[in-house]
Structure formats: C-alpha cells, structure tokens
Amino acid sequence: MSDAAADPAQKTKRPRVNVRRPDVMERVAAEVAVHFHSSIVEKLKDRGGKITIGNTTVLLAQQFGFCYGVERAIDLAYASRRVFPENRIFLIGEIIHNPEVNRQLREMNIVSLPWQELTEDYDDLTEDDVVIVPAFGAPTHFMKKVEERGSYVVDTTCGDVMKVWRRVRGYAKDGVTSIIHGKSNHEETRATASRALGEDGTGHYLVILTLADTDYVGNYIKGHGNKADFMKRFGNCVSDGFDPDIHLQRIGVANQTTMLKSETQEIQTRLLAAVIERDHNGANFQVFDTICGATQERQDALFEMLRVKMDMLLVVGGYNSSNTQHLVEIGEKELPTFFIRDASCIRSLEEIVHFDLHKHEETTSYSRILAGDAPAVIGITAGASCPNNLIEETVFKVFELRGIGREAVAGA
C-alpha cells in the first residue's frame, strides 16, 4: 500500500472519472445488447404493442422498461470494468432495483457496499479502488468518506434526481424546510434528504409517504396538534433538531422522483391549503414538479392501456423498485394484477408467484384466468429498471402456457 493510502490526511480529492471513451462504449453497447435487449419486444412496440395469435391477445404498454437514466447507469457500470480491468470496483448498494441487472454486475466482479450505513468496508477503500455511485445517488456523508479515501468515483446519479437535489438545496439556502414525498428508507430519498440540509448543514426536512401523513402535517400547520405526538410519528423521518413549531413555518415540497404523480400533486394541494388557512396566503409555500419524466410516461401509458378491457395485468420488475410498485397500485384498482420478478414466476396456467404490496411479501395465487380455451387478453408493463429481455420472456411464457410456441410468436 502506498504512503498516501496509509495516511488519509495525505489523500486529495480525485475528480469524477470519465469512462465514456468511444472505444469502450462501442464494446459496452454490444455487451448490454446481449444481456438486456430484445428485438421481439422492440418489434412489438413498433407495431402498436398488440399481438393476437388464436384466442390469445397480449397488449404491451406503449412506455415501459429501461429509461435513459437507467441505461446510462448500466453503461457506466459496464464501462468502469473495461477502463479499470484490474482494479477493485465497488458499488454503493445496487445500481438500480432489478436483480438480473445487479447479478450481471456481480459476475463482472463489481462488489456491492452497504448503503444503509457507513461500515468498516468504506475504511478499507484505497486510492486504487473504483467506487460507482448508483442511479439513485448517495448521501453526502457517503460521498465525503469515499473522497477521503481517495478512490476513483464513477457517478451514475440520474439527472432527474440531481434536479431535486438542486431544488432542496435552494430551499435550505432560503430557510425553507423541505417536505419530501418519498419512502424514508429508499436510497434516493435518503440521498435527497442529505442535500436538504444545505451546504452548511443547517437546513431541515420532513419525509412523508401517505395522504394520511399529509393530513396529519396539515392539521399541525393549522394549529391542531401535539409536538410530542408529532415527533413520535415522524421522529425517524426528520432532520436532526427538527422542531415542527419552527420548521413548518416555511415549507417547500419535493419528492422522490419515482412516486405516483397524482398522489404527489394531492399532497401539494393539501399542504398549500393548510398554509393558506394558517397565513391567509400561500407566501410560505413553495413547490416544484420533480416527478421523473420516465416515471410519468409509464404511469400515463398504463392509464391509457387500462381503457382497453383486459383479463389480467402482469407488471414485471424488481420487487424493491418504487416506480414499478406504483404501476402495480394503478393496475390493481382496475383488474387482477400480478407483480412478477420475471417469467419464471408464472409457474403454470393457474399458479402465479407474485409480490403482494399490502403484505410486503412474495406470495402465490391461483387463478383460472389463463386456463381453458376461452379468449384471453393479457396486459404487460414494466418499470423503468426492467430490461427488455425479461419482458420478452414474459410474452413468450404467456403464449406458451396458452399452447402457442415461441416460433409462432416470433413469426407473428
């Protein structure tokens, strides 16, 4: 180990590494295509997302699967191994929320570091190591630790996430508390909350998830509430030193970029109403639309598809993917909806393994929807972190279980 690696005080912050070299990216594009792309899915999308063979129709949402930010993150992770073939490469948590993608990175010997808290693993980093920041970003204290160790950094943080960071930093600078609509234990929300503290660390935030949370906060803003009860409910979702009597005087709403757009809008409406009732004007309320464009497009595409009568909906993606979960929430209000990790979850015509959002666990349901000779219309969509090859396998599996082979599907 070098002297610099042995003495943290001697380390200097390295600039972000640009791994997008033309020679590297050409090879990366070929590898990513082999691992995740699907010509079948692309052709199906180009032809309106509908395919009917015999008495079986499969509908594919017009917007689904990888978004630009996810594609960029994967490309940069693959490129990191090409640019640093002999170095140890680490990843803070997961690059995105999809088990297949993360499995491919593990096979490239890219090692995942804990993201819930800083551990001694970070103390072991050296100036020869490479650390990849995932698409969700990482909290500021994680970034400072990596910089202290002098490691190379490949930052794949999504541009939409960084827009939210700029907004909450602005709130902190102006003395405005960030009300973050998100999941407090999600990587992106934790990264955003750290930026809401501002450059000097004096900013404040409150993370809320549900409309019930919103109404509770709104009532407190209007003067109906107890501080002890408030802190008991939100104690794990606020900045250090948060005082609702002080830090709810001026508020600004932001959000985890993958939340349900309609819910975020309703939260904004209710909080604004509470501020107006208290102050008789909305001067102490700020808002900025920070829903990811790809998330919105996939939600809108599903709403459009739900206008067609379908027998069931399959939503494909990682169980811990927030934007995918919201697609499930939209679908299950209208028809039988199954949240599956991949095609292997469809075990037979009657048995489907899927994730139950309400029980927060994988379960098995038995359905007669796909069985028999009656005509069936099956809808398929996927979150922004789901690769097309998994969607292709789902299309094939549905038809196979209806007695239609892969050759017939490909030929159609």
Please check whether the two domains, 37-67+294-411 and 69-157, share a CATH topology.
Answer: no
Three-state secondary structure of 154-205: EECCCHHHHHHHHHHHHHHHCCCEEEEECCCCCHHHHHHHHHCCCCCCCCCE
The domain made up of 37-67+294-411 is a member of CATH 3.40.1010.20: yes
Q: What SS3 state is found at 262? A: helix
The tokens of 8 are what?
């943290």
| CB 139, CB 157: distance < 8 Å | no
Residues 405 and 115: their CA atoms lie apart, in Å, by: 43
Q: Is 188 a catalytic residue?
A: yes
Residues 175 and 181: their CA atoms lie apart, in Å, by: 19
Per-position pLDDT tens, the chain of length 412: 334 444 444 556 666 778 988 889 999 999 999 999 999 999 999 989 999 999 999 999 999 989 889 999 999 999 999 999 999 999 999 999 999 999 999 999 999 999 989 999 999 999 999 999 999 999 999 999 999 999 999 999 999 999 999 999 999 999 999 999 999 999 999 999 999 999 999 999 999 999 999 999 999 999 998 999 999 999 999 999 999 999 999 999 999 998 988 899 999 999 999 999 999 999 999 998 777 888 889 999 999 999 999 999 999 999 999 999 999 999 999 999 999 999 999 998 889 999 999 999 999 999 877 777 789 999 999 999 999 999 999 999 999 999 999 999 888 8
| CB 164, CB 114: distance < 8 Å | no
Domain boundaries, the chain: 37-67+294-411, 69-157, 160-291
Torsion of CA 182, 187, 191, 196, to 10 degrees: 20
What backbone torsions phi and psi does residue 355 show, to the nearest 5 degrees?
A: -95, 125
Any idea what DSSP says for residue 212? H
The tokens of 56 are what?
């079986």
Torsion sign (Cα): 174, 175, 180, 185 = positive
Torsion sign (Cα): 341, 343, 344, 349 = positive
Residues 345 and 394: their CA atoms lie apart, in Å, by: 9
Q: Crossing angle of helices 261-279/293-305, nearest 10°? A: 110
Torsion of CA 395, 397, 403, 409, to 10 degrees: 40
pLDDT value at residue 4:
42
Active-site option among 94, 188, 392, 393: 188
pLDDT value at residue 12:
60
**Arch. (CATH architecture) of 69-157:** 3-Layer(aba) Sandwich (3.40)
**Arch. (CATH architecture) of 160-291:** 3-Layer(aba) Sandwich (3.40)
Q: pTM (2 decimals)?
A: 0.89
Residue carrying structure tokens 């159609």: 412
What backbone torsions phi and psi does residue 174 show, to the nearest 5 degrees?
A: -90, 5
pLDDT value at residue 15:
61
pLDDT value at residue 5:
44
